[in-house]
Amino acid sequence: MIFPHTYSLKEIADIINGKIIGDANFQVTGINEIHKVTPGDITFVDHPKYYKKALNSAATTIIINKEMEPPEGKALIFSEDPFVAYNHLVAYFSKFEKTNQMVHPDAEIGEGTHLQPGVFIGKSVKIGKNCLIHANVTINAPAIIGNNVIIHSGTVIGGDAFYYQKRDNGYNKMISCGRVIIEDNVEIGTNCTIDKGVSGDTIIGKGTKLDNLIQIGHDTVIGKNCLFASQVGVAGTVTVEDDVILWGQVGVQKDLVIGKGAIVLGQSGIGKSLEGGKVYFGSPAKEAPEKMRELVNITRIPEILEKLKK
């Protein structure tokens, strides 16, 4: 998340009651969780195991639970509980907007775009031109929707990321402040769920078509002209390149890359990154010809047992 304007480290530290280690006039331009940081960002780290990663990341300010010298060109904010401090900052800059209006008055709806009845549009949602949003769709903020987009009934854009930190007293939620971006000419079927990024963007690329009951997790980036059949589930922080086809009920685990033009047959389960331009099948998925040979091989076991008996 990029802040509406630049803040000094002092202003940020005051919000979370943290102790500055470094220059109080240091400039902060946004906040991101560690996987999405860019220069100017503030991020957090609360476990010694990840100190090095955080201190060496692109982030220029790190909320940390140990007092130490900041690396060159960076600043630290000491906090007993960096996770809580981070969440507090996110909540401060990205307040959930209660409303009693189906279409928030601050939402921007482009020319020629039509909303059927029962559609909810949150604050800071921008919808382009000539879109058709069918009845009972929900678009939570923040989301940016391009031109000529069709969203079918019951679909929910911008649910929170499914992202928790395990603590002694149960799971604590990482508050989502990321966006959903839906590019031009995308069509999304009925009762789909597309979560917002934790701090970055969930993106559906230009011309991609999703069937019904599809799940797209937080911070996942789908390329252009992909086709996903019904009941596909894609976890968070996945990259799907252009022209990928996922058939019905395929499941994709988090943090993977599916290469350009890959085709994944129905009910397959993707547990590692896939090279583009090939066809895959199975759970766990393999290249389809290899998987097909395995299925044939299994049918030869009785013959093997028979031979061994002799």
d(CA 87, CA 58): 20
Taking the complex as a whole, the smallest distance from the CB of residue 161 to its own copies amounts, in Å, to 10
Contact positions with its own copies (CB under 8 A) in 236-295: 247-249, 251, 253, 266-267, 269, 271, 283-284, 293-295
Binding segment (CB under 8 A) for its own copies, from list 10-18, 62-70, 77-85, 301-309: 301-309
Taking the complex as a whole, the smallest distance from the CB of residue 22 to its own copies amounts, in Å, to 36
> Cβ–Cβ contacts within 10 Å for residue 129, how many?
14
Q: Respond yes or no: is residue 218 known to be catalytic.
A: yes
Quick one: 16 or 188, whose CB is closer to its own copies?
188
Among 154, 178, 223, 259, the residue binding its own copies under the rule CB under 8 A is: 154
Beta-carbon contacts of 309 under 8 Å, excluding residues fewer than 6 positions away, are none
d(CA 34, CA 59): 8
Q: For the CA atoms of 110, 113, 119, 123, what is the dihedral angle to 10 degrees? A: 0
Among 31, 76, 127, 235, the residue binding its own copies under the rule CB under 8 A is: 235
Quick one: 53 or 173, whose CB is closer to its own copies?
173
Taking the complex as a whole, the smallest distance from the CB of residue 292 to its own copies amounts, in Å, to 10
Taking the complex as a whole, the smallest distance from the CB of residue 224 to its own copies amounts, in Å, to 8
Contact positions with its own copies (CB under 8 A) in 158-187: 159-160, 162, 164, 170-171, 173, 185, 187
Backbone angles phi, psi at 258, to 5 degrees: -110, 120
Quick one: 110 or 248, whose CB is closer to its own copies?
248
CA torsion through residues 83, 76, 17, 35, sign: negative
Quick one: 10 or 276, whose CB is closer to its own copies?
276
Neighbour order of strands in the sheet with 75-78: 2-8, 27-31, 41-45, 61-64, 75-78, 19-21
Contact between 224 and its own copies by CB under 8 A: the answer reads yes
CB 42 within 8 A of CB 18: no
Exposed/middle/buried for 283, CB within 10 Å: 0-12, 13-18, 19+?
A: middle
Backbone angles phi, psi at 63, to 5 degrees: -85, 125
Contact positions with its own copies (CB under 8 A) in 82-121: 96, 98-102, 114, 116-118, 120
So which residues are the catalytic ones?
Answer: 218
